[in-house]
Structure 1
C-alpha cells in the first residue's frame, strides 16, 4: 500500500526514509551497515546516484538523494533489492544470534503481499518528499544529521560515523557525498 509520498519529479532531489520491516534493528550490527554503505557508494560511482545527505539508524535510513539521469525511482528500487538480498543472505550464512527471529519476520512480511516471494526486508514506502526550496533542504539535512544526537548515541552530529554530517564538517566520511552548497 502506498504512503502517499511518491517521486513525482525524478529530476529533483528527495528526502527519503528506507525502513526495515517491523522496525527490526538490523543496523545495530556493523556488518549490515557496511553493506548499505558499499551499495550507496557503488550507486554513486557507477549508476549516477547523487547523495546529498544520509544517516543510518538501527532500523531505518534517512537520506536526501537525486539521480543524474532522472532515474531515481529505478535506482532506489535496485538499491533496495540488492541490499535486501545481500543482507538476508548474510544473515542466513553468518553467525547472527537473531537469525531465526529475523528471518521469520521477513518471511511473514513477504506472505502479506504479492511483491515478494520469500522475504521482505524493506517496507515498500520511501516517504519521498521533494526538495523544492533551500529552506526545506536545510530543514531536512538538519533533521537527518541530528537524528543520532536525538537518539542519544553522540553529542555532535559529526561524531556519528554512519552519517554525512562528517562530510559537511570537513571530516572524512565513510563514503563520498555530493555536498550541497545551500
Structure 2
C-alpha cells in the first residue's frame, strides 16, 4: 500500500514527532539527551532551519521546526540517522531505532503555532512526569522564560514570544491546559476551506461519498471521528467535502 503523501505547510513550519520503534525508549540517560540536542543543533546549522520548540520524552520527541534550505523530510532524516548511528554504536545494537517515518502536521497560522508550542511544552505534564512545564528540564520552555539561557540556546524564541505578546503572556498562556491529543484547538482559528479540504481528503484516502454511505456504520463512524479530530476543521467543512449529512457527522 503506497504511503500517504505528507501535507506541505504553506508557512514552512511543522510540528514533527518521532517515536522509538515498538514504543521503546530512545533515551537511557541524560548523556543521550544531551547528544540528541547536539545533533539537533548541528542539523539546524547545516539546514538553516528554525527550531521553535522541542521536548524530549523517554520514547519520543516533539519538535516545532521551520524549514530552511532543506525540507522537513531532509531535516528529520538527517537528525534521525545521525542520532541512531551514535545510539547504536554506544549501546552495541543494530537495527532501526525509530518507528517508521516521522509524523508531522503543517502549521499554517499563528494560532496553530501557539497551540503547538503549548502542547509540546505541556507534554510531560500531560504524561504525569512533571508538575509544570518549568519543572521539566528537557524542553525548550526554559529557553523562553530564562533570558540568560535564551542567548545561547538552539531555540528560536523571538516568534513565539512576539506571537503571545511577551514573556509574561507566554508564561500565562502555558498555564492553561491543552485538551487535544495532537494540537490544542481551543484557541485556534478555523482552518481555511482549502486547508480543510486537503486535510480531509488525506484521511479519506480516495473514498467517495458513496463509499462512505456503504460502509458499515461502526467503520464509518470511526472515520468520521478521525475527521472531527482534525485541528481547526469544522463539521460544515467535513459535510461539504464528504457529502455526508451534518447530523450524521455530529452523531458519529
When the two structures are superposed, what TM-score results if normalisation uses the length of structure 1?
0.77
Q: Map Cα deviations across residues 136-159 of structure 1 (whole Å, 9 max, x no partner).
A: 111111110001112233222122
1:62 aligns to what? Answer: 62
Quote the offset at 1:170 in angstroms. 2.6
Quote the Cα distance in structure 1 between the aligned partners of 2:111 and 2:2.
27
1:11-90 alignment runs, 5 A limit: 12-90=12-90
Q: Select which of 119, 132, 137 maps to 1:156.
A: 132
Larger % of helix: which?
2
- Contact 2:50-2:68 at 8 Å conserved across structures: yes
Quote the offset at 1:29 in angstroms. 1.4
Q: Given the alignment of the two structures, is residue 176 of structure 1 paired with residue 154 of structure 2, yes or no?
A: yes
1:4-15 alignment runs, 5 A limit: 4=4, 6-9=6-9, 12-15=12-15
Using a 3 Å threshold, how does the CA distance of structure 1 residues 48 and 12 change in structure 2: closer, same or farther? same
Q: Pairwise CA RMSD of aligned residues?
A: 2.3
Quote the Cα distance in structure 2 between the aligned partners of 1:89 and 1:3.
30
- Unpaired runs of at least 5, structure 2: 164-252
SS of aligned partner of 1:159: coil
When the two structures are superposed, what TM-score results if normalisation uses the length of structure 2?
0.57
Quote the Cα distance in structure 2 between the aligned partners of 1:144 and 1:3.
26
SS of aligned partner of 2:61: strand
After TM superposition, the runs of 4+ consecutive aligned structure 1 residues lying more than 6 A away are none
SS of aligned partner of 2:134: helix
- Unpaired runs of at least 5, structure 1: 93-102, 104-117
Using a 3 Å threshold, how does the CA distance of structure 1 residues 10 and 43 change in structure 2: closer, same or farther? farther
Count of residues in Structure 1 that have an aligned counterpart in Structure 2: 158
Between 1 and 2, higher relative CO (CA 8 Å, sep ≥ 6) is seen in 1
SS of aligned partner of 1:44: helix
Higher radius of gyration, 1 or 2: 2
